[in-house]
Structure formats: C-alpha cells, structure tokens
Structure 1
Amino acid sequence: MPVPDRRRLLEAVSAAGLVGLAGCTSPRADSHTYDRDQGDLAHDPLPYTETYPDDDAITMYRGGLRRLGYYPDETVPDSVSKNWAIPANYIGHTAAKSTPLPTPDGETVIIPADSGRVHARDPKGRHLWTTQTEATYQGFHGTPAVVDGVAYVGGYDGALYAFDVASGEVLWRTDSFDDPVAIGSSPAYWEGVLYVAIEYRRPKEGALWAVDAETGATLWSDDRIWGMPHPSIAIDPDAERLVTASNDGVCYAWEFPSLEFAWEFQAGGPDGPDGDPQEGGAFTWGAQLKGTTALYDSAAFFGSWDGRFYRVSLSDGSEEWSIDTGKRVMCDPAVDPERDVVYMGGHDDSVRALDAGTGEEVWRADVGGDVIGALATTGETVLVGSYDTGAYALDAETGDRRWRVGNRGTVTSEVVPRDGRIYYAERAVVSNYDGEDADVIVDVPGHAYCLVGDS
C-alpha cells in the first residue's frame, strides 16, 4: 500500500499546525553539523546470528540495532521460579514499561521505572544504586542503550540522560529538542551517535534526532513525523536504512548513515489510508504504529492498530505482504533468521509464528490476554508477556506452552534471557485510572522480576 499524496491531508490542518512539518530543522546554535554520507559506512556485514554493532561493550533494546529480539546464545530453563523482585512502576499510563537491561558484561541490570527512578541491581538482585531524575511525570518507558559503561535512556520529561553504570551518576542530561514532551522510544547507538524519536504535544507530532553520545549535544533533526512516535529507532547498516514509526500510522525510513529521507508507508485505518486526520496533524484513526519495527531480509516487520501485520520493503517502502488479525497489533515482533520465522502478538490474546517470506501462519498460541510489549526468541523458545499477568515460554517450533509464571500486574516489557536468568517488568495494579494520573490509586506497584531455573 503506497503512501497517498499528503497534500490533501495538509490542507485539512491549520497553518499553525504546518510549521516545521515539511522536512529537516536547522541545527541549533549549540549543535554540531551532522555530515555523514553513505561512503562513510565502513563495516563488515554481520550474519543474523550476530547483531549490530559488533562490539562486546554494547547492549541495546531488542538485542541490537535491527531490533530482532533474537538471542541465539541464550538458553531458557525447562521450569522456572522467581529469584527476586523489586517494586518499580507506579503509574497508570498504559504504554509498555521499560525492559530491565543487563549490561554487556552481565554484571549489572539497569531498570528504568515510571517513577522517574533508574535502579541498578546485580543478577542476584543485590542493590547497587538508585538515581532519582527530573522525569517525575510518567518517568521512563524506554530501555537504555549501554555503551562503554554509560547507559543512555530518554524520559517523559522530554530529556535524554546518560548514566554512569558503575555509580548511577548523571553524566549529562539534554532536553535541547525544541520543547519536547516525552521520549518513549529506546535510543539506537552507532559510532558515537545516538538516534532517538522525540514526542511533541502541540501539535501532536514528532521528530528524529541525532545526538552526540559523549556530550549530549544535538547534531541534527527531521521533524516530518506526525503523531507522537513511541517506537524505537531500528537500523540495518547492510540495507543502509534507518526506520521508525508513529501514531500517525506511518512507517518512515531514511538512508543510513546520510539521513537523506527515503520513503514512508501509510497503514490503513477503519476508512483506509484516506481516513479523517486528527485535529492538528494528519493522523489516520485506527492505524497507529506503536511497536518497534524489526529489520530482516531487507524488509521491515511491524503491526498496526488497523489489525494488520506488515512486511514492507526496506528499499522502497512497498508492501510485500500483510495479514489481517482482526484486532489491534502494537507489540514488537521477534525474528528467528535461522527458521526464517517472525513472531508477533496482538489484541486477540495470541502469539503467531509467520513465515517471514510469505506471511503464512505456521502456528498460533493462546496466551490469555493482549500482547502489547515485545516478543523475544532464543531460536528454541519464544518469550512473551501478557495482559493476563503471565510471562510465557512457548516452544518456537510448535507454539506449545513450556511454562507460565503469574505476576501482580500485566507484563508489558520484553522478557529478556541472559546467562540462565529471565528479566522483565510489569505495570502497577491501579484503580481510578481514566487516562490522567492525578487521582490514580496504586493498589500494587509494578515489579521488575528475575526468574531462574528450578534446577
């Protein structure tokens, strides 16, 4: 489904809402100039059993830049029990929660929380440090990128933070993003630069920003995104594409690393891609793209609130196939490149395994509730959190349930395997939530958990 001519949609928006929507902003006075071209891209192509960047000192959300959620070196125990848990989340906000992230050496687990705190524990749950930040309204929902002992993550105060992993000290904090409201996406790191999607409120729009990882100085931005972008940035250096998506129902792609705009793909809402725009921006109702795209086989894989799950060409943004699930899809898919299978979940209480090349369903498994977080796979096992409060392990070949662990609240983070342990986080159990958090009653805080094998 190619993107329609957006001139018609622009005409439906007030002139004030159009300011800055057409392309790149000028660099700020305190910024460097981003100047990289495709000729600067010097790397050895990596097989899908490895991840970008090929550096033992780096870990990122979903296992790397391609956001595959693929952990082929990890093993999931046959049966598990809870080793430790800490209260972390207290907000009724319905976005997926941050994923507890092990550092590259596996000795520290970074746990951003929606309280605005960032916690660090060792794998056995021993407290290392807790840092309270200025992100006190809805806190953190993204997951850090950890590079050379520094953890980078954005908050719902519209700022990007750099934390010293050893001490929890804030090394820098930047909110020089032209009056942002939030950063819900997880940063991507490549050769000294962080790439992150920023959210704005008036009008509801977004922007892609490049930030110097050492100093926090802003380098470049493109404010063409409409809607408030929650998905994280995905990068495939082999395909020379950087991809993100937004609440406007559009998947956006730039050449990488030059950041020349490449294409956009509009998902369809109840009235198709020509549906009525939201006031203040072209927003196709029912087509929101909430999940982070996975990049594999020269294609982007993502789901939409239009009930469809898509495979789109990284080359030109053309639709290669899509399936209709009948319910919203907003989770981050996982890809097993050895099986050539993509795993996705949705609001139909199920996880599906799809042939990555054709979209044909291989199996479907019931997980008792909506799946809005992120799927992960080791090649043998698929890990997933559910609205039924369960964390599930499914057989990757058949979809059969290996185990389920019940929790206090809904599990909306990625369920991450590392060194025989499983880490994830849940939402708080709250009362009186109506979309505003002022009068919410926290019945039970949402916890971050570590599971270990029973043996």
Structure 2
Amino acid sequence: MREQASTSRRHRTARTTRRRVLATVGAVGLIGIGGHTAVSARSPPDCTRVLENVADTDVPQATPQPVDDDISMFRRGLRRYGYYPDETVPDEVRVDWSFPVNRIGHTAAKSTPRPTPDGETVLIASDTGAIHAVTPEGERLWTLETGAGNSLGFHGTPAIVGETAYIGGYDGACYAVDIPTGELLWRTSAREFGGSIAIGSSPAYIDGTLYLLAEYSNPASGALWELDAETGATTWSDDDIWGMPHPSPAINCEAGRLVSGSNDGVVYCWEFPSLERAWTFQAGGEDGPDGDEMAGGQFHLGAEIKGTTPVYDGAAFVGSWDGNFYRLDLEDGTEEWAFDTGRVIMSNPAVDPEEGVVYVGGDDNHVYALEAETGEELWSANVGGSVIGSLTATAETILVGSYDSHLYALEKATGERRWRVENRGHVTSGAIPRNGQIYYAERGVFSNYYDDDAETVFEEPGHAYCLVADE
C-alpha cells in the first residue's frame, strides 16, 4: 500500500467534448447529446427520502439498500455496496437448479441475476439478448427476446422498481419490462441516445429518474444520461466522457455526488442532483503510461476503469488497470490512499459499512480485505483465477466468482475458504444471496479463445445457477 497526494492528477484540463469532435469532422444526426445538454422539462430528483433514511440509521452512511421496499438494483442500492447483512450463506451447498443463458464470447462480466424485492421472481438477463423470469424454485415464468440479441445482448443488471425492470443492452438501447407479464413497456433506442453502440451500465434509480452510461465509437467515448423512468424519455446528458464507459453510476445523496469511471482511466464526479461537473481523477500515476491523444481526449491506456465505484465514508473506492485500488475524497477527488496489487483490477468491490472494510479482487487471482479508512490490508485469499465480476458481502461471508470456473465462499473475518462450487465457465456475474438461496451466472465455455493462431470454438453455454443448503 502506498499513499501520495497526487494533486496533479486530481483535476483535468478542459477537453473537447464528443459533440465538438463530431462537429469538427462533419458528423450529423445526433440527437440530444452534448457536453452538458439540459432539457427544459428536466425536473431534478428529490433526495429528501434518501436523506431521511440516512438520518434514521445508527451507522453513518450505512444505507446499503434503497429507501423503498419495492426497489432493487445492481450492487443492491444507490451507493453500490454489494452488502447483504441479513442474508445467511449455508455451511455447505449444492446446485438446486441451473439452465443455459450465455453463449457469447465477449469477456465483459455477465449480468447478475436479480430477485424482485418480494423474492418471488428472479430476473436473469442473457448475453443473447433474452430476459428470463423464473421462480426461486427454477420454474420458468416467461422469456422476452429483445433487439439486444443482434449485438452482445445484456451484461448490465436490471434495476427493479415495483413491477417494472429497467436494463440497458449492447444494442445501445434501454428497456422497461413489465415483470408480471414479460411485456415490453418502452424502449429508448440507440438513436435517442445519440447513436450509442452499447449500454453495459446498470441503471441507478431515484425518485422516478434513471441514470446510466452509454458507449460510442468513432471516437471512443461515452455519456451519462438521465431518463424519465415512466416514459423512457431522455431529460439530460453529459458527453464529456472518453473511453467507452462500462461502470454503473453510484449516487450519494448525503454528499451530493454521482460518480463513475471509464476506459480512459478517469473517475468522473458530478454534483447531485444539479449534475454540474464536480471533479475528475486520472488513474495511471506519474509512473504510468503517458497516454495517447485520441480525438481530443487524453487516454491513459493500461489505466482503464471497468468496475463500479462504491461511495462510502465520504469517499469513492475504485480499481484500475494500473494495478491500484484507490480511495478518493468525494468532495474534491483527492487521492487519499492507493493499494498496489501489481495487476489489473476490474471487479466491482463490496463494502461492509458497519465494519468499515472494503473487499476487492483482481487479475492477480486474489481477493483483498482492506480497511476503508487507511487502505491497510487485513487479509488476502487466492481464488485460483482472475476476478472480474462483483464481490458480495454478507454478515459473515464474501461470495466471489473466479476465472478458475468456481464460485467461492470466504470467511469475511479471515479470508479462509468455506467452500467452492465448480461450474462450467468463468464465473463473472455477482452472486446474490436471498432467503437461503444463492443466484449467479457464468460465461459460456470456449476453446482457443485467447489463441490468435487457432479458431475459437464454442463448447457449451454458460448457465445461471441456484445454490441451496446441502443438508
């Protein structure tokens, strides 16, 4: 672990936005996208209920879940903790049911199965563009085939509000689906997102409003979008993002911040709910790559930020391909500490706000438990392969998928292995514990995928799984 001020990396100079670049080369036809494009109908969301919920908690900034009982989203809530303190992980487990869902070789982390708030339905989005609804017992309720099947399907995770699920696809569109029937309620097209080629970001929901990031090519760039959840209409965007962002936005109403990262190695932060740009932070460091100019954007290749950034204790926690895991001050983006693993980090960290510990994995095949305040390593555990998906924390256990095709359960206090389950493909979705069951998904199985001299062969599809106690 190393500490440094790195003030020089905190704020970036003004850069050309994607809109200006496209205007320079004569591009036309983009709708509703700009450096800071506000729509006259925009009504900023009301954070009052979230702030009241924070005031009612005994643990400062704890709120690991949404305010309303009928809301569920990726990493469980707006602050993206991935923390389930009320769930118990069995001492021994077995596969209760599974079925094939993923067939695409794209190495991005797979969508995490999402139980509805009442636990009666589990939504599983596939990289083939299908959304499946099943009961906790594995009974199929419906399957919706979408236009995302013509690209790389879904890698984001649905946000669930009441009886509606919201999810972005790699066709560049966002979908709203009626959960009881599987009917499509609305679809905001790629054209309405200014020609987006993909949405890998999982939506954040607050007060009737959705936030997500969209990706663009020529030049490689991105935009943060605000949508009306009832209609799917876009109400605001900021396209001054570079590097085709994958992460999901994290929101801390108490601090008044929205945070996300991108493939240019930058963490972007906006004031919330005004959405004025607050600060940016460039990963890569003085000892890292100098970066390449690409269409007016400064890229630090090898510093990509793929993981979603949880916000806790007045800070944002983010891993980078530069091998560092950072704690950044939410107020101004100052680097408070950096933990150096020496290898790529692209997982979604988990935070235990009651213990003040953050958990993260990377390409060095290890999971780390770090003291959130200081970055001190409390323990590390070898999980046999790269960790690129989401870590999940419960009161006693860390659940984490590995590229060695296993799902691991680790003792939260020590990192000691409790059990592991062997699967077919790389386990890259999050694992969600609910009522004694654990839901997760894996990548399809391919041979020669990383061999440029041999033909890649699809061997078998990746499955979605449900584990139960092996009594």
- Which residue number corresponds to residue 376 of structure 2? 360
Aligned to 2:404: 388
Residue of 202, 205, 215 corresponding to 2:231: 215
Q: Is 1:335 the equivalent of 2:351?
A: yes
Contact 1:24/1:222, CA 8 A, preserved across alignment: yes
Moved more, 441-450 or 305-314: 441-450
SS at match of 2:75: helix
2-structure distance, mates of 1:39, 1:134: 34
Q: What residue is the counterpart of 1:99 in the other structure?
A: 112
Counterpart-to-counterpart distance in 1, 2:41 and 2:117: 31
**Among candidates 5, 26, 35, match of residue 23 of structure 1:** 35
Is 1:155 matched with 2:169? yes
Matched position secondary structure for 1:199: strand
In 2, the alpha carbon distance for the partners of 1:444 and 1:130 equals 20
Aligned with residue 179 of structure 2, among 151, 154, 165: 165
- In 1, Cα distance between the equivalents of 2:146 and 2:275? 31
Q: Is the 8 A contact 1:269 1:305 kept in 2?
A: no
Matched, 1:76 2:61: no
Summarize the alignment of residues 19-58 of structure 1 with structure 2, pairs less than 5 Å apart: 23-25=35-37, 27=39, 33-36=41-44, 43-46=51-54, 47=57, 48-58=61-71
How do 1:212-361 residues align onto structure 2 when only pairs under 5 Å count? 212-268=228-284, 272=288, 274-278=290-294, 281-361=297-377
**Cα contact 2:10–2:279 (8 A) shared by 1:** no
- Does the 8 A contact of 1:249 with 1:289 survive in 2? yes
CA contact (8 A) 1:99 1:415 kept: yes
- SS in structure 2 of the partner of residue 225 of structure 1: strand
Q: 1:435 to 1:170 in 2, by over 3 A?
A: farther
Aligned residue among 140, 154, 160 for 1:146: 160
Match for residue 428 of structure 1 among 428, 434, 444: 444
AA paired with 1:34? R
Which of 102, 126, 145 in structure 2 is aligned with 1:132? 145
Residue 417, structure 1, aligned to residue 427, structure 2: no
Q: CA contact under 8 A between 2:202 and 2:248: conserved in structure 1?
A: yes
Q: Is the Cα contact below 8 Å between 2:44 and 2:273 reproduced in 1?
A: yes
RMSD of aligned alpha carbons: 2.5
Tell me if 1:64 matches 2:77.
yes
**How far apart, in 2, do the equivalents of 1:344 and 1:18 lie?**
41
The change in CA–CA distance for 1:140 and 1:18 in structure 2 (over 3 A counts) is farther
Work out the CA distance in 1 between the residues paired with 2:288 and 2:461: 40
Instruction: Decide whether the 8 Å contact of 2:306 with 2:347 is kept in 1.
Output: yes
1:269, CA displacement in angstroms?
6.3
Query: What TM-score, normalized to structure 2?
Result: 0.90
Q: What letter corresponds to residue 297 of structure 2 in structure 1?
A: G
Equivalent residue number for residue 115 of structure 1: 128
Q: 1:433, CA displacement in angstroms?
A: 3.9
SS in 2 for 1:370: coil
Correspondence 1:408 to 2:420: no
Determine the C-alpha separation between the residues in 1 that align with 2:11 and 2:24.
Answer: 16
Q: CA deviation at 1:430?
A: 1.6
Residue matched to 2:207:
191
How far apart in 1 are the matches of 2:21 and 2:63? 47
Does the C-alpha gap of structure 1 residues 381 and 15 become closer, same or farther in structure 2, counting only changes over 3 Å? closer
Structure 2 contact 10–334 (Cα < 8 Å) conserved: no
In structure 1, the gaps of 5 or more residues are: none
Kept in 1, the 8 Å contact 2:291–2:298? The answer is: no
- Secondary structure at the residue paired with 1:223? strand
Q: 1:4 to 1:64 in 2, by over 3 A?
A: closer
